[in-house]
Amino acid sequence: MLQNLIDIREQFPLQYEKGMHELFPYNVRYGGTFPGTRQIASDLGIKHPRLNGNGRSAAWVMTTDLLLTLSRPDGGYYLLAIAHKPINSQEKKRTKQLLDIESAYWKARGVEWLLITPNEYLPEVAFTLRNSIPWALGLAANNEHIVTVAENIQHFHGRSLTSCLCAFAEVFGSMDLAQRAFWQCVWSGKVLLDLTRGWRPHLPITLISAEEFWKFNPIASRRTSWN
């Protein structure tokens, strides 16, 4: 849902030995090299994770759950690293140690790192977004349909989603297109929907401020469980 998102890399491997900055593939040049997880673990006095089996042992390659590449207004790029863990994961000593390594790894590179747990978002919001994924991430509606929804949505404040979609479907000639245009407007922040409303069509549409809307998103608002 971040409008300046360029790329998402899942389970991104962290460098074990020192190496170049992760923005190097985007032609962003940083001087020198940056410490790998081996050095960071040693500096923190933490045992680096290892993989053992069949009488052999090797260093375990640590990963970050999500590494986002985002664009700057001046045309440059920056990174945002995100770990997702269950509630109270930091209470487990070994998990906390591994998160310490991961946090220090990105700090050494000047990259903001967030620890997201279910405490950082409302389950109702997650449920609404999960159920709208087929339309939000489906075939993109064209700009004309997006603009039509965004410019006319105020007329449907307090009315059911069903009546809203039926009205746009009549204009567009397709309920599927109406669904895609509506939810793509929501996901892009062009329709500031109260995401706690649930996804069922008979429920009313409630529009809120941009500040309230983006607070639903822990990544956009940079919330973290890390302390």
The model's pLDDT over 124-148, given as tens digits with 9 standing for 90+, comes to 999 999 999 999 999 999 999 999 9
pTM higher than 0.85: yes
Res. 31: pLDDT tops 80: no
What integer is the mean pLDDT of 5-12? 96
Q: Could you tell me the pLDDT band of residue 90, with boundaries at 50, 70 and 90?
A: confident
CB 70 within 8 A of CB 22: no
3-state secondary structure labels for all residues of the chain: CCCCEEEEEEEEECCCCCECCCCHHHCCCCCCCECCHHHHHHHHCCCCCEEEECCEEEECCCEEEEEEEEECCCCCEEEEEEEECCCCHHHCHHHHHHHHHHHHHHHHCCCEEEEECHHHCCHHHHHHHHHHHHHHCCCCCCHHHHHHHHHHHHHHCCCEHHHHHHHHHHHHCCHHHHHHHHHHHHHCCCCCECHHHCCCCCCECCECCHHHHHHCCCCCCCCCCCC
pLDDT at 51: 87
pLDDT at 163: 96
What integer is the mean pLDDT of 168-176? 97
d(CA 169, CA 186): 17
Percent of the chain residues past pLDDT 70, beyond the cut: 100
